[in-house]
Amino acid sequence: MRNFKAVFIKQTVYNTKVPSLIIMAGIFMAFIIVINILFDADDDCGYCTPAVIAVEEVKCDDCLANETHDPSMAGMFTVMFVGMFLVSHAAGNVRDDKTTKNLRFMTMAGVRPPQYVLGTILSLTIFAVPIAILYATVGGYFGMNMFWFVSVAIPSSIISILLGLAMGLAKNPVFIMPVSLLLGFGPMLSTFNDQVGVFLRWTYTQQVRIAVGNLRADIIEYGGNFNAGMSENFMVIGVNAAVVILILIFVTRKGHLD
């Protein structure tokens, strides 16, 4: 418990003194606000329903469960933040600990891999949670829609942190950049190319994109009464979490940090 607390404090202090996480979140937030000002949401008729089929559409309570919709700018930047920046940032924390020999000192002090991993996850999660809530607020997700927005964003953030730790602890961290770019920008590209969406459908960041997009459509079409089914979103996110945990266990299978 003492080792876990020491890792948590150390990583929290590091992320406060080197606030790249906060700065990037702020930059994304600024982009969201500027784009929302320049492009009024009322001009977006992506979900406008022609009058001739309005009656039929009202009867389709399961439409959102069977379709995917483009997320708001807040939703898209949330996906980019979770998939691209959190992965690379978590990996960067580990690489910094390796470069400064802090990781070896912690190992000599008796810190075990689970203590290091849990301390780092918690230290980054306390930043990720308020950021997700802010993005949801700026994006107009309130009430139960905010709850479901955060319910997919936070677990996905933790998966990204775990994945970043796994790649940072690996002997060869060459895959950090391509993986983070794929997870962060891939869902955005799927908006313009259906084949990309099919390829990425079983990744957790694509499921975040689908979930927040359906929540946005729920707000526009149903007034936020939450008709969007999310069972597949949570199932895929859960499978991704299990796979990433197995990868992290494999990376730390020697039982020490190096």
Q: pLDDT tens across 17-56, in order? A: 888 888 999 999 998 888 878 875 444 444 444 433 344 4
Q: What is the value of pTM for the model shown?
A: 0.84
Domain ranges of the chain: 2-251
List pLDDT tens digits, range 201-223.
999 999 999 998 888 877 766 55
Averaged over 99-125, what is the pLDDT?
Answer: 90
* Confidence at residue 224, expressed as pLDDT on a 0 to 100 scale: 54
Residue 107's pLDDT is 83
Show the 3-state SS of 48-100.
CCCHHHHHHHHHCCCHHHHCCCCCCHHHHHHHHHHHHHHHHHHHHHHHHHHHC
pLDDT at residue number 117: 92
- For the segment 146-166, what is each residue's pLDDT rounded down to a tens digit? 999 999 999 999 999 999 999
Q: Mind listing the pLDDT tens digit for each residue in 162-202?
A: 999 999 988 777 888 999 999 999 998 888 888 888 889 99
- Could you tell me the pLDDT band of residue 119, with boundaries at 50, 70 and 90? very high
Task: Give pairs for 141-149: CB < 8 Å, separation 24+.
Answer: 141/74, 141/212, 141/215, 141/216, 141/219, 142/224, 143/224, 144/224, 144/226, 145/215, 145/218, 145/219, 145/224, 145/226, 148/211, 148/215, 148/226, 148/228, 148/230, 149/75, 149/78, 149/211, 149/212, 149/215
Buried b (16+ CB within 10 A) or exposed e, 55-77: eeeeeeeebbeeebbbbbbbbbb
pLDDT at 194: 83
Beta strands per DSSP E along the chain: none
